[in-house]
Structure 1
Amino acid sequence: MNKRKNILKIAIDSPAAAGAGTLAKTISKHYNLFYLDTGKIYRLVAYLKIKFPKKFNQNFIKKKIKSLKVKDLENKDLLSDEVGTEASIISKVKSTRKIVHSFQLNFAYNPPKKFKGSCLDGRDITYNIVPDADLKFFITANLKTRAHRRYKELKSLNKNITYEEVLKSIKKRDKSDYNRKISPLKKTKDSVLLNTSKLTKRACFLKIKKIIDRKINT
């Protein structure tokens, strides 16, 4: 695979609803980086499995991933609790991960030329997808804060769900993400830890901006 030279690569890992996606989007916009929410790809595969159960197989996944556009990941149906739970299961399937992995690599190392680099967030970005990233972050928050954030997000989309259901779902997601045998969620030694539990979106961005600026200006 050809790789663009002299680009800025930022890798972010986090558990569900820790605020990594919002932060990554803000970082990407500020530094003109190509942003990819890798978890959304697994959510898309999960959504396809739910919507097209009879057609769903590896060839079907390959075809859909090959024609995938970033805008396809903005489908609000991908945020449902059902899709999230299914995505956590699907992400354990080795053959599916292999298909998604190649897609992620291409976006990380070959962002469109109008961008100065790439910013990816997910569960195994810092050590599996972009191990040579210029900057690595592990974004987290306490369980109740994450559940409250996801609950507000889902309610804003008019989803009929309770806070207790969201809390239970995120506990289940955490157990799956941290304990799966293939590419589990973990903080690498070279990742900067940021707990967003008591921070505003602006405060989170300013903390990370300071670290990035120090890196790119040295």
Structure 2
Amino acid sequence: MKKIIIAIDGFSSCGKSTMAKDLAREIGYIYIDSGAMYRAVTLYCIEQGLFDEAGNIDEETLKAHMNDIHISFQLNPETQRPVTYLNGVNVEDRIRSLEVSSHVSPVAALGFVREALVKQQQEMGKEKGIVMDGRDIGTAVFPEAELKIFVTASAEIRAQRRYDELKAKGQEASFEDILRNVEERDRIDQSRAVSPLRKADDAILLDNSYLTIAEQKEWLKTQFEKATHATC
């Protein structure tokens, strides 16, 4: 069967990554977490002190350092899930913190950051057979993707999911803070000048507010089967 590119875009905390990872594992494709790449750059900025007290980024320094930021993914043999590495160091847990979540949208809005990471992502997809999720995969990274999904859910439901995820990891969390973060990220993602978050014209809309994970998996598998049969 001919391999295709699957692009899953949507709002933050919609469960895109979980959906994409599960699908990739089930169909034998490579999963690429584009959001983790932007989070890794954000973590680099935090660790290098590139944010001032007001949350502004030292853009010139970051631009000069982009060639020193190397992001890769390695499969965890126990979980069979990809783990994010920043310059050879496992940062999977650290990039999921609320601190990184609160700073990632301004970093992802920078044109030179997006340009650098989009080039890396397009290189990863040359052989097809990949599932990638993010904000602009179907519109900017792989506009020719054979299957495009756009995922949405209410801000309150997305905040609750994020809250539950952090609490399950033993991290302190405030639902109100997370909700504000989700709403602010939505605003920034949709209004940024470079590759704003939007549904591609040929993307299939999925509102998963009240779907179980099992129902999502079944729906996504059906869309994959339709797309692959259409390319045969």
TM-score (norm 2): 0.84
Counterpart check, 1:99 vs 2:111: no
The match for 1:148 among 154, 160, 165 is: 160
Aligned residue in 1 for 2:65:
60
Hey, which of these two has a bigger chunk of helix by percent? 1
**How far did 1:53 drift?**
2.0
The yes-or-no answer on 1:174 pairing with 2:186 is: yes
Contact 1:109 1:118 in 2 (8 A): no
Please state which structure has a larger fraction of its residues in strand. 2
Give RMSD over aligned pairs.
1.6
Deviation track 1:151-202 (CA, whole Å, cap 9, x = no partner) reads: 1111122221211111111011000011111101001120000111110011
> Matches of residues 78-157 of structure 1 in structure 2 within 5 Å?
78-110=95-127, 117-157=129-169
Which one of the candidate residues 50, 72, 76 is aligned to 1:69?
A: 72
Shift of the alpha carbon at 1:217? Answer: 2.5
Q: Which residue of 1 aligns with 2:30?
A: 34
Q: Which residue of 2 aligns with 1:3?
A: none
Residue type matched to 1:57 in 2?
A: L
Q: Give every structure 1 segment of 4 or more consecutive aligned residues whose post-TM-superposition deviation is greater than 4 Å.
A: none
Q: How does 1:18-33 map to 2 (within 5 A)?
A: 18-33=14-29
Kindly provide the amino acid, as one letter, of the partner of residue 102 in structure 2.
T
Q: TM-score, normalised by structure 1?
A: 0.89
Q: Is the 8 A contact 2:32 2:132 kept in 1?
A: yes
Taking the aligned partners of 1:174 and 1:214, their CA distance within structure 2 comes to 31
The sequence identity of aligned pairs, in percent, is: 29
CA positional deviation for 1:72: 2.6
Q: 1:201 is matched with which residue: 204, 208, 213?
A: 213
**What is the number of equivalent residue pairs in this alignment?**
206
Task: Indicate the larger mover: 197-206 or 99-108.
Answer: 99-108
Unaligned 5+ segments in structure 1 are: 1-5, 112-116
Name the aligned partner's letter for residue 126 of structure 1: G
Instruction: Write out per-residue CA displacement over residues 101-120 of structure 1, whole angstroms, 9 at most, x where no aligned residue.
Output: 11111112246xxxxx0011
> What displacement does 1:122 show?
0.3
Q: Which ranges of structure 2 fall in alignment gaps of 5 or more residues? A: 51-57, 74-82, 86-90
